[in-house]
Amino acid sequence: MGKQILVATFALVAAALAAGGSTASAYTVQPGEDLWQISQRTGEPVSRLVSENRLGDANQVSAGRNLKVDGNPAGHQPAASPARGRTYTVRQGDTLYRVSRRTGVPVPLLAQLNHLSDPNHLRLGQVLSLAGAPAPASSPAPSKSQPSANPAPPAAAPPRDSTHGEQAKQILRRAAAQLGVEPAFVLAVSEWESGRNQAALSPTGAVGLMQVEPYTADWAGPALLGRRVDLNNPRDNALLGTALLRKYLGDFHGDKALVLASYYQGESATQKSGIYPGSHTYVDGILRLYHRYSNS
């Protein structure tokens, strides 16, 4: 604790990201650093560091490497366009969840558009249609019969809860204690998923500390907690994510690797096929965080 922490440098990059025009930064990895430490210093969730920099092994980052870091504050990533192209070709290790993350099209809509009888199994090279995905909402054109000289400004979106850091940690610990799940396990999942930031919102709509999708909350709230939940409330978010982990811990007899795979790729997919090749980075990274929290 008394060691002086190296101050890493940020090199601002003037180029705008093609997807959203936001400014990115480069973070230079210092000797002895791992992704968890970099996440703490930059505010960038570990999961995003991995995906943005295409890291095959989240536990190995070499000193001197420049990592792309989102120029926006943690948890405020610009929403992806719902469909950047008319189709998406399945790559090695893809799951429907991963395709959803890459395209911004929700998992249920992808399954519906492509008539997937078993969305847990995609074929390498399979072409998925994105044609029916809704376009980004745009402001309606003013009425020609009643033009407005002073149109009202668009209503601002309500601010998302900014709970993070130590406050978030306490909320997560209370949820873990209430539901009988190891706090270190809950903290590790939240750290990887959102950087323990309730304001985090994924391009597919996953919300908050535990990055729960709204359609998951629709069934899981009543089924696991006996009530509907508000994912924008950090306490509800922490409770529901923890309840999902508790369910999977029971279903997989405490095997944390399979629990994490279920949280990431879906329980039915894990029951049928085990851990997908593309899920190992996620599972191994969170297990490493779990051991860190357990030993601290």
Domain that holds residue 112: 87-129
For residues 34 and 96, membership in a common domain is answered with no
Instruction: Answer whether 175's CB lies under 8 Å from 237's CB.
Output: no
For residues 174 and 283, membership in a common domain is answered with yes
For residues 50 and 19, membership in a common domain is answered with yes
Residue 176 has pLDDT above 60, yes or no: yes
For residues 21 and 104, membership in a common domain is answered with no
Please give the pLDDT value at position 29: 81
For residues 31 and 95, membership in a common domain is answered with no
Average pLDDT, the chain: 75
For residues 291 and 171, membership in a common domain is answered with yes
Give the residue, 162 or 118, on which the prediction is more confident: 162
User: Averaged over 214-241, what is the pLDDT?
Assistant: 94
Please give the pLDDT value at position 180: 98
For residues 19 and 103, membership in a common domain is answered with no
In a domain, 155, yes or no: no
- Choice among 31-35, 190-194, 219-223 with the minimum mean pLDDT: 31-35
In a domain, 186, yes or no: yes
In a domain, 270, yes or no: yes
Give the residue, 244 or 97, on which the prediction is more confident: 244
Residue 237 has pLDDT above 60, yes or no: yes
Residue 31 has pLDDT above 90, yes or no: no
Instruction: Answer whether 65's CB lies under 8 Å from 28's CB.
Output: yes
For residues 232 and 173, membership in a common domain is answered with yes
For residues 176 and 270, membership in a common domain is answered with yes
For residues 94 and 213, membership in a common domain is answered with no
Please give the pLDDT value at position 182: 98
In a domain, 121, yes or no: yes
Please give the pLDDT value at position 293: 92
Confidence of residue 30 (pLDDT cuts 50, 70, 90): confident
User: Averaged over 205-212, what is the pLDDT?
Assistant: 91
How many domains does the structure of the chain reveal?
Answer: 3
User: Averaged over 124-144, what is the pLDDT?
Assistant: 58
- Choice among 27-31, 97-101, 111-115, 174-178 with the minimum mean pLDDT: 97-101
Confidence of residue 136 (pLDDT cuts 50, 70, 90): very low
Please give the pLDDT value at position 2: 36
59: CATH: 3.10.350.10
For residues 186 and 251, membership in a common domain is answered with yes
In a domain, 23, yes or no: yes
In a domain, 5, yes or no: no
In a domain, 156, yes or no: no
Residue 257 has pLDDT above 60, yes or no: yes
